[in-house]
Chain A
Amino acid sequence: MPPPQDERPPRAGRRFVPGPAALVPILAVVLAFLAGSVLILLTGFATVGHLDLLLPVTAYLALLQGAGITTDPAQATNGLVNTVVQAAPLVLGGLSVGLAFKAGLFNIGAQGQFLMGALAAAGTGAAVAGWPGPLAILAAILAGCIAGAAWGFIPGALKAFTGAHEVVTTIMLNTIAASVVGWLVTGPLLATGFSFDRTGDLGNATLPILFGTRNLHLGVLASVLAVPVIWFLLWRLTLGFEIRTVGANPSAARYAGMRPAFLIVFTMSLAGLLAGLAGSMEILGITHFMNASYGTSVGFDSITVALLGRAHPVGIVLAALLFGALRAGAGLMQIKTHIPVEIVDVIQAIVLLFIAADVIVRFVFRVRTGHGGLAELQTVTKSYGEGAVR
């Protein structure tokens, strides 16, 4: 007799909300905050000279307040907007890394793809600054997407046709991207009339700010739209089924008549596009130009976001919002408690540590089930040099 309808476990990925798979990531975050409070205690002791046991609570409350979790409407709006703006590029970056995970690829190259996207958007934006607004914006975004996609295509093609491991090639391409930025910004894309090396003004290619806020730019919309698009691709299209199959079992994908080589190139290109899109949005919406030593950690933070979100689009949004909130609230925390903003980087790193070493989390919280096993980590730790994909 078949069990009643409601008892049947739903298809994985079909539901839009994460299930028990979220357990380990959530507990990892809890542990990271506990570890962070120890650091806050020690920092407080080092600066003030005595141990203030309430300091972690005060600091975290200030952090929350800065991130918009407060009753003051003005402060709340401001904080929430900051959280969202900080989270937006992490969503796209997280989707980039997460999508690659689904295909069994570890895209460490989100950083380079982000930089190339930002550079292309900055250069193109400056070149089309006089075009009508929508056209200029579209052209700049398109250039950013293409540049990012190209920076993903290269390691994808190298992997598919020569077997070169994407971890190695994307790390190298990250370095190359940083150098390309330095060269183009001081050379072909250098704008005159500024006291330092930078690209030209964006003019009409600048993204509009929404709802009269200080910094909620239109680019945030791209992050909001990308989430259902990637979800739809992965779970509704046959192409997504192929991507997931290649990621879960490449041999079975070949047996099923799929083309792993094509899928790897496609997925890496799309992953690059997402990271490139994130880079364009940062330039067109926030910094408005690129300088020779453009610094960002979005590409690397995206890896943490993807792992914490377990490569699921919704999980990635939640993880990105968490890290966005940390960044948005860190300033107020420093002002109120003199705990340096860098503590949030430490917390973020500890989260990654606990995700990677999930055995610790399972031990501390007595998690017994195997359901929380992180398949993405197998992609991360998979041995190199498996040979070319036939």
Chain B
Amino acid sequence: MVDVAPALEMRGITKRYPGVLANDRISLDVRPGEIHALLGENGAGKSTLMNILYGLAAPDEGEILLDGTPVTINGPSDAIARGISMVHQHFMLVPVLSVADNILLGKETMANPIFLDRAEAHRRIVELGKRFGFEIDPEAKVESLSVGWQQRVEILKALYREARILVLDEPTAVLTPQETEEIFAVLRRLAAEGHSIIFISHKLYEVLAIADRITVIRRGKVVGTRIPAQTDEDDLAELMVGREVQLTVDRGESHPAGTVLEVDGLRVNDDRGREAVRGVTFAVQGGEILGIAGVAGNGQDELVEALTGLRKPTGGRVTLAGQDVTNQRTRQMNEAGLRFVPGDRHRFGLVLGFPVDDNLVLTSYYRPPFARGLLRDEDAIDVAARRSIAEFDIRTPSEHVPASTLSGGNQQKLIVAREFGGELKLLVLDQPTRGLDVGSIEFIHRQTIARRDAGAAVLLVSAELDEVLELSDRIAVMYRGEIVAIRDGRTADKEEIGLLMATGNRDAAVATAGSPG
């Protein structure tokens, strides 16, 4: 043990919500200059603990000490004043404002009571950037920055407010492997300067790569603290889930059997009328998983929406099981054998205010047995819901509680239960495990392979390169609306795919790395 007071100590934190013990006497200490990883499944209590630290919730029991002094944190502004800053998974930036404006927002540097001191602010932003190894133009509009650089803006914002303790919530969820490495370099530099970092994640290899210590939480309790040198992924996964977990699913051999989906020269515009998918051609066979790798925003969303009838293509052809479905509505595509797990489950996949059972029939409510003529058959809906809940292990007190009360993993299981069941020819999976815990990911991967082995064609779109590499029989890399390469899933090289994702061209990669935008 080092003989310094921890920068932050949380002692015996207990937080009860009606029916749930979210935090059960959790103790956590973070030393100055330490990167401390907080590992746990969704719903394990990480967010509750961080909300308590950030003053968004008051603990029922326990105390928080900063530099050895007990403190009470009354809300985020209090937390920020005490040097605690949080970088959220979804960035809290205003896209149309400049980097400097975003950083100043909420803590304005004033020249006098009326006007901002922009010059001073710029100077400090550039200086901070230099100190931590990234230079940024304070006048650049945030919307023009890549996701990786937006994240740096968030970190800069925290540093500008003189944060000593930084909480990063799933910071790598949206980054390419290269960007992840770059952000890790920034974090190491911060730690070397004495900042304390709490790194929330459930990506085991990342935690092992970046953390000085790892605290694992399960069901509201600390189940262990590890040092990376003395642990490995299997050990951490078991701690986190409470049982042995198979981290990589054995995808087995694929047995392609006839083309199910054929996409020919497809062109799709985005919401602003710009061409987001620019003449994409590929095919998916039954019994095969085609993975589409790519940095978010390279046309994958528009491609998926066009393939599922949510967006009209401007050109090209889509054939599903021999049937031209190019301008068809979603309902007709469903009838032709399409099932779809949408990327944004709150926007598309669920009606959060509706009960679980209604959500389970969201795409089949109009068909027998769930409807008899114009009438809903609620008994049939209930019976099917109870079966799905049991079969897919959806953790819910009842099929009648709103879907909003389920954890993220269980919400996704609900969608999977709905879309994977019954007859299907093509399964389109858009970010199927985004934000999910190890247990749920394992479950969804197994189910996906089971559907493939049963003869379904699977189109997997994921920003999570590891997921694409792990599941896909073939991998297509999408870059700026085009498919720039297709590789065999078993022999693909992660570095090469990463470069293709970042640049569209493996050779040009080195030249552009490290510049913003």
B-binding residues in A (CB < 8 A):
2-3, 8-12, 14, 235-241, 244-245, 248-249, 251-252, 254-259, 375
Enumerate chain B residues within 8 angstroms of A249, measured Cβ to Cβ. 347, 350-353
Give chain B interface residues in 319-372, CB to chain A under 8 Å.
329-334, 340, 342, 347-355, 357-358, 362-363, 365-366, 371
Give chain B interface residues in 481-509, CB to chain A under 8 Å.
none
How far is the CB of B383 from the nearest CB of chain A, in Å?
Answer: 13
Q: Are the CB atoms of B354 and A248 closer together than 8 Å? A: yes
Q: Within the complex, which residue of A2, A12, A259 is in contact with B355, where a contact is CB–CB below 8 Å?
A: A12
Q: Are the CB atoms of A256 and B330 closer together than 8 Å? A: yes
Question: Is B273 among interface residues, defined by CB-CB distance under 8 A?
Answer: no
Q: Name the segment of B73-81, B393-401, B440-448 touching the other chain.
A: B393-401
B354: nearest residue on chain A (CB-CB)?
A: A248
Q: Are the CB atoms of B351 and A248 closer together than 8 Å? A: yes
Q: Within the complex, which residue of A2, A11, A245 is in contact with B362, where a contact is CB–CB below 8 Å?
A: A245
A sample of 17 more A-B contacts (CB under 8 A), given A8-B397, A255-B348, A257-B363, is A2-B398, A8-B398, A8-B400, A11-B355, A11-B378, A12-B402, A237-B374, A238-B374, A238-B375, A240-B376, A241-B365, A248-B351, A249-B347, A249-B353, A255-B349, A255-B362, A256-B365
Q: Bound state CA distance, A8 and B348, in angstroms?
A: 27
Q: Bound state CA distance, A337 and B409, in angstroms?
A: 63
Q: Bound state CA distance, A9 and B400, in angstroms?
A: 6
A3: nearest residue on chain B (CB-CB)?
A: B397
Q: Are the CB atoms of A14 and B340 closer together than 8 Å? A: no
Most A Cβ at <10 Å: residue of B332, B333, B351, B362: B351
Q: Are the CB atoms of B398 and A255 closer together than 8 Å? A: no
Q: Bound state CA distance, A289 and B229, in angstroms?
A: 90
Enumerate chain A residues within 8 angstroms of B349, measured Cβ to Cβ. 252, 255
Q: Are the CB atoms of A375 and B353 closer together than 8 Å? A: yes
Enumerate chain A residues within 8 angstroms of B376, measured Cβ to Cβ. 235-238, 240-241
Given A236-B375, A236-B376, check contact A252 B355 (CB 8 Å).
no
Q: Are the CB atoms of A245 and B375 closer together than 8 Å? A: no
Enumerate chain B residues within 8 angstroms of A240, measured Cβ to Cβ. 376
How far is the CB of B348 from the nearest CB of chain A, in Å?
Answer: 4
Given A10-B400, A11-B378, check contact A257 B331 (CB 8 Å).
yes
Enumerate chain B residues within 8 angstroms of A375, measured Cβ to Cβ. 353
B390: nearest residue on chain A (CB-CB)?
A: A2
Enumerate chain B residues within 8 angstroms of A2, measured Cβ to Cβ. 398
Question: Is B310 among interface residues, defined by CB-CB distance under 8 A?
Answer: yes
Q: Bound state CA distance, A249 and B310, in angstroms?
A: 14
Q: Bound state CA distance, A172 and B333, in angstroms?
A: 40
How far is the CB of A233 from the nearest CB of chain B, in Å?
Answer: 10
B402: nearest residue on chain A (CB-CB)?
A: A12
How far is the CB of B368 from the nearest CB of chain A, in Å?
Answer: 11
List 11 contacting pairs A-B, 8 Å CB cutoff, sorted by A.
A11-B357, A11-B358, A237-B376, A238-B374, A238-B376, A240-B376, A252-B348, A254-B348, A257-B332, A257-B334, A375-B353
Enumerate chain A residues within 8 angstroms of B402, measured Cβ to Cβ. 12
How far is the CB of A162 from the nearest CB of chain B, in Å?
Answer: 17
Q: Bound state CA distance, A50 and B400, in angstroms?
A: 57
Q: Are the CB atoms of B355 and A237 closer together than 8 Å? A: no
* Contact size range, B: 35 or more
A-binding residues in B (CB < 8 A):
308-310, 329-334, 340, 342, 347-355, 357-358, 362-363, 365-366, 371, 374-376, 378, 397-402
Q: Bound state CA distance, A244 and B357, in angstroms?
A: 15
Q: Are the CB atoms of B310 and A255 closer together than 8 Å? A: yes
Enumerate chain A residues within 8 angstroms of B362, measured Cβ to Cβ. 245, 252, 255-256
Q: Are the CB atoms of A252 and B350 closer together than 8 Å? A: yes
How far is the CB of B56 from the nearest CB of chain A, in Å?
Answer: 15
Q: Bound state CA distance, A256 and B365, in angstroms?
A: 9
Enumerate chain B residues within 8 angstroms of A244, measured Cβ to Cβ. 354
Q: Tally of A-B residue pairs with Cβ under 8 A? A: 87
Q: Are the CB atoms of B330 and A257 closer together than 8 Å? A: yes
Q: Which 7 A-B pairs have the closest CB atoms?
A: A257-B331, A8-B398, A255-B348, A257-B330, A249-B351, A11-B400, A248-B351
Q: Within the complex, which residue of A11, A239, A245, A258 is in contact with B374, where a contact is CB–CB below 8 Å?
A: A239
Most B Cβ at <10 Å: residue of A14, A245, A255: A255
How far is the CB of A249 from the nearest CB of chain B, in Å?
Answer: 5
How far is the CB of B195 from the nearest CB of chain A, in Å?
Answer: 36
A253: nearest residue on chain B (CB-CB)?
A: B351
Q: Bound state CA distance, A235 and B400, in angstroms?
A: 14
Q: Are the CB atoms of A238 and B347 closer together than 8 Å? A: no
How far is the CB of A245 from the nearest CB of chain B, in Å?
Answer: 6
Enumerate chain A residues within 8 angstroms of B350, measured Cβ to Cβ. 249, 252
Q: Within the complex, which residue of A8, A14, A248, A255 is in contact with B330, where a contact is CB–CB below 8 Å?
A: A255
Q: Are the CB atoms of A255 and B353 closer together than 8 Å? A: no
Q: Within the complex, which residue of B340, B355, B371 is in contact with A255, where a contact is CB–CB below 8 Å?
A: B340
How far is the CB of A370 from the nearest CB of chain B, in Å?
Answer: 10
Given A236-B375, A241-B365, check contact A251 B401 (CB 8 Å).
no
B353: nearest residue on chain A (CB-CB)?
A: A248
Enumerate chain B residues within 8 angstroms of A256, measured Cβ to Cβ. 330, 362-363, 365
How far is the CB of A151 from the nearest CB of chain B, in Å?
Answer: 26
Q: Are the CB atoms of B354 and A257 closer together than 8 Å? A: no
How far is the CB of A105 from the nearest CB of chain B, in Å?
Answer: 16
Q: Are the CB atoms of B351 and A3 closer together than 8 Å? A: no
B338: nearest residue on chain A (CB-CB)?
A: A257
Q: Bound state CA distance, A293 and B401, in angstroms?
A: 51
How far is the CB of A102 from the nearest CB of chain B, in Å?
Answer: 11
Enumerate chain B residues within 8 angstroms of A10, measured Cβ to Cβ. 400
Enumerate chain A residues within 8 angstroms of B333, measured Cβ to Cβ. 257
Q: Are the CB atoms of B329 and A257 closer together than 8 Å? A: yes
Q: Bound state CA distance, A121 and B401, in angstroms?
A: 45
How far is the CB of A163 from the nearest CB of chain B, in Å?
Answer: 13
Enumerate chain A residues within 8 angstroms of B401, measured Cβ to Cβ. 9
Given A238-B374, A256-B363, check contact A251 B355 (CB 8 Å).
no
Q: Bound state CA distance, A239 and B375, in angstroms?
A: 8
Q: Within the complex, which residue of A11, A12, A14, A254 is in contact with B310, where a contact is CB–CB below 8 Å?
A: A254
Q: Bound state CA distance, A248 and B402, in angstroms?
A: 12
How far is the CB of A260 from the nearest CB of chain B, in Å?
Answer: 11
Q: Are the CB atoms of A241 and B358 closer together than 8 Å? A: yes
Enumerate chain B residues within 8 angstroms of A11, measured Cβ to Cβ. 355, 357-358, 378, 400
Q: Bound state CA distance, A249 and B375, in angstroms?
A: 22
Enumerate chain B residues within 8 angstroms of A237, measured Cβ to Cβ. 374-376
Q: Bound state CA distance, A245 and B355, in angstroms?
A: 12
Given A9-B401, A241-B365, A245-B354, check contact A251 B347 (CB 8 Å).
yes
Enumerate chain A residues within 8 angstroms of B375, measured Cβ to Cβ. 236-238
Q: Bound state CA distance, A256 and B358, in angstroms?
A: 12
Enumerate chain B residues within 8 angstroms of A235, measured Cβ to Cβ. 376
How far is the CB of A103 from the nearest CB of chain B, in Å?
Answer: 13
Enumerate chain B residues within 8 angstroms of A14, measured Cβ to Cβ. 378
Enumerate chain B residues within 8 angstroms of A255, measured Cβ to Cβ. 308, 310, 330, 340, 342, 348-349, 362-363
B398: nearest residue on chain A (CB-CB)?
A: A8
Q: Bound state CA distance, A375 and B366, in angstroms?
A: 25
Q: Bound state CA distance, A3 and B402, in angstroms?
A: 16
Q: Within the complex, which residue of B310, B340, B357, B365 is in contact with A238, where a contact is CB–CB below 8 Å?
A: B365
Enumerate chain B residues within 8 angstroms of A239, measured Cβ to Cβ. 374
Q: Are the CB atoms of B366 and A238 closer together than 8 Å? A: yes
Q: Bound state CA distance, A221 and B468, in angstroms?
A: 63
How far is the CB of B143 from the nearest CB of chain A, in Å?
Answer: 20
A14: nearest residue on chain B (CB-CB)?
A: B378
B310: nearest residue on chain A (CB-CB)?
A: A254
Q: Bound state CA distance, A292 and B105, in angstroms?
A: 57
How far is the CB of A148 from the nearest CB of chain B, in Å?
Answer: 23
Enumerate chain A residues within 8 angstroms of B365, measured Cβ to Cβ. 238, 241, 256
Most B Cβ at <10 Å: residue of A14, A252, A259: A252
B371: nearest residue on chain A (CB-CB)?
A: A238
Enumerate chain A residues within 8 angstroms of B354, measured Cβ to Cβ. 12, 244-245, 248
Q: Bound state CA distance, A251 and B362, in angstroms?
A: 12
Most B Cβ at <10 Å: residue of A236, A238, A244: A238
Q: Bound state CA distance, A136 and B42, in angstroms?
A: 66
Most B Cβ at <10 Å: residue of A235, A241, A245: A241
